[in-house]
């Protein structure tokens, strides 16, 4: 029981962690990323498309590429066109939803799901994506704290004028941060599709928003953010395990992650201070 619970937690956490790491890169650079949801979904679809056409590896590449491209669009809108980040993000999410369903129809002639796909390994512990995710958390931490890019990204998110006055190409740095967020979220989406051996319409099902909540909960730092994702995933796993016991009242357990997030947001559980220029245009 405990064993399955923990394994389930890990499997549920992978897409959260990847998407949330993406959120960290985007938001530390000052770009609000509500579009994580759409990026997950896009990643999932293109992973299915790629895996169907040429196997798992191609699926991963396609997922990362397509989602990064979508993120590039978000970055372009927010940074170059000075669009409102939240509105642009919502638009991106609607685009991802429409486009994946349109392509599902155009490529697989189905309104609901793709054909069955090859998966990756047996069980989450054997999945290379689990270990890949752990490495990516560490890499993200190092990239932000110990590389010139990380320094520039943080400066762009805190005080873009200051960075600009020193010749830092602020717009480019921010867009790179958003594209990195797309690549990571796309990988998370790929895991969703490959783990389910299938793409189904709207399969991201709000995970991008939970990932965004984890970014806030983890105070915009990779390791604490990953920990927040594990916590939310554990709540999910618990709910699945408890469902049998609480048949008629499962909705109340479903609410847990959202209610927890609201509590964090309202400062009932600690406070977190966003990058100073988050959302600035």
- Measured from the CB atom, is 38 or 186 closer to another protein? 38
Query: Which C-beta is closer to another protein: that of 6 or that of 138?
Result: 138
Span from 19-27, 42-50, 151-159, 175-183 in contact with another protein (CB under 8 A): 151-159
Residue 122 or 271: the one with the smaller Cβ distance to another protein is: 271
List C-alpha distances in Å: 270 to 97, 105, 201, 226, 261: 34, 46, 36, 17, 11
Q: Which of 43, 52, 67, 152 binds another protein (CB under 8 A)?
A: 152
Between 86 and 238, name the residue whose CB sits nearer to another protein: 86
- The C-alpha angle with vertex 133 and arms to 131 and 138, in degrees rounded to 5, equals 100
The contact pattern for another protein, residues 214-233, with x = CB under 8 A and - = no contact, is --x-----------------
DSSP 3-60: HHHHHHHHHHHHHHHHHHHHHHHHHHTT---TTHHHHHHHHHHHHHHHHHHH-HHHHH
Shortest reach from residue 150's CB to another protein, in Å: 7
**Binding of another protein by 281 (CB under 8 A):** yes
111 Cβ contact list (under 8 Å, min separation 6): 101, 104, 105, 201
216, 265 contact by CB (below 8 A): yes
Q: Can you read off the two tokens belonging to residue 163?
A: 């960075």
Query: Given the rule CB under 8 A, which of 42-50, 122-130, 174-182, 273-281 is the region that contacts another protein?
Result: 273-281
By CB under 8 A, name the one of 10, 20, 34, 183 that touches another protein: 34
The reply to whether 261 sits near another protein by the rule CB under 8 A is yes
* 17 lines the binding site for another protein (CB under 8 A): no
What part of residues 65-104 is at the interface with another protein (CB under 8 A)? 73, 77, 81-84, 86-88, 90-95, 97-99, 101-102, 104
- Give yes or no for a contact between 198 and 114, defined as CB atoms under 8 angstroms apart: yes
In the chain the first and final C-alpha atoms are separated, in Å, by 50
The partner residues of 113 in beta bridges, in order of sequence, read 200
Contacts of 45 (CB under 8 A, 6+ apart): 66, 100, 103, 104, 114, 189, 193, 199
Please identify, using beta-carbon distances, which residue of 131 and 252 lies nearer to another protein.
252
Please identify, using beta-carbon distances, which residue of 120 and 213 lies nearer to another protein. 213
Pick one of 6, 125, 223, 276: the residue that binds another protein (CB under 8 A): 276
DSSP alpha helix (H) spans, the chain? 2-28, 36-54, 56-75, 85-108, 128-146, 148-158, 160-165, 170-196, 207-217, 222-242, 250-254, 256-265
Residues 6+ apart with CB under 8 A from 130: 10, 14, 124
CB of 7 to another protein, least distance (A): 25
209 belongs to the binding site for another protein (CB under 8 A): yes
Q: Closer to another protein at the Cβ: 3 or 148?
A: 148
Which residues lie near another protein (CB under 8 A)? 34, 73, 77, 81-84, 86-88, 90-95, 97-99, 101-102, 104-106, 142, 146-148, 150-152, 154-155, 158-159, 161-168, 206, 209, 212-213, 216, 248-249, 251-252, 254-255, 258-259, 261-262, 265-268, 276, 279-281
């Amino acid at each position: 029981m405990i064993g399955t619970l923990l394994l389930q937690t890990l499997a549920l956490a992978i897409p959260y962690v990847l998407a949330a790491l993406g959120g960290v890169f985007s938001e530390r650079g000052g770009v609000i990323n509500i579009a994580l949801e759409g990026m997950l979904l896009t990643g999932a679809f293109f992973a299915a498309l790629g895996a169907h056409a040429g196997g798992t590896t191609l699926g991963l590449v396609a997922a990362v590429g397509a989602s990064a491209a979508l993120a590039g669009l978000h970055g372009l809108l927010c940074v170059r066109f000075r669009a409102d980040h939240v509105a642009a993000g919502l638009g991106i999410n609607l685009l991802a939803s429409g486009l994946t369903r349109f392509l599902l129809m155009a490529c697989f002639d189905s309104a609901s799901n793709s054909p069955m796909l090859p998966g990756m390994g047996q069980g989450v512990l054997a999945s290379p994506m689990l270990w890949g995710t752990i490495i990516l958390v560490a890499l993200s931490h190092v990239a932000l704290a110990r590389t010139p890019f990380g320094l520039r990204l943080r400066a762009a998110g805190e005080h873009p004028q200051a960075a600009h006055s020193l010749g830092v190409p602020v717009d480019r740095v921010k867009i790179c941060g958003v594209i990195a967020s797309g690549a990571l979220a796309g990988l998370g989406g790929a895991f969703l599709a490959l783990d389910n051996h299938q793409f189904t319409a709207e399969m991201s099902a709000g995970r991008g928003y939970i990932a965004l909540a984890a970014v806030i909960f983890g105070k915009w730092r990779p390791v604490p953010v990953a920990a927040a994702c594990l916590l939310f995933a554990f709540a999910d796993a618990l709910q699945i395990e408890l469902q049998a016991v609480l048949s008629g009242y499962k909705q109340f357990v479903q609410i847990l992650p959202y209610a927890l997030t609201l509590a964090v947001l309202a400062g009932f559980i600690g406070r977190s201070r966003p990058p100073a220029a988050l959302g600035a245009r």
